[in-house]
Amino acid sequence: MAHTGIFATSDEILVKAGENYDTSITEARINALCLQSESLINAMTRNNFSDSFSGLNVDAKAILSEISSNLVAIYIITYHMDSYSSMRAAEGMVNILRDGALRGISVLRDKKTQTWMLGA
Q: Tens of pLDDT along 75-109?
A: 999 999 999 999 999 999 999 999 999 999 999 88
* pLDDT above 90: residue 120: no
Range 47-62 average pLDDT: 92
* Rounded Cα distance, 119 and 75, in Å: 32
Task: Tell how many helices (H) and how many strands (E) occur in the chain.
Answer: 6, 0
Other Cβ atoms less than 10 A from the Cβ of 91: the count is 14
The band of 118, judged by pLDDT with boundaries at 50, 70 and 90, is: confident
Q: Residue 63: which of 99, 120, 101, 10 has the closest Cα?
A: 101
* Rounded Cα distance, 120 and 107, in Å: 16
pTM over 0.95: no
Range 46-54 average pLDDT: 93
pLDDT at 113: 86
Written as one string, the DSSP assignment of 63-86 is HHHHHHHHHHHHHHHHH-GGGSS-
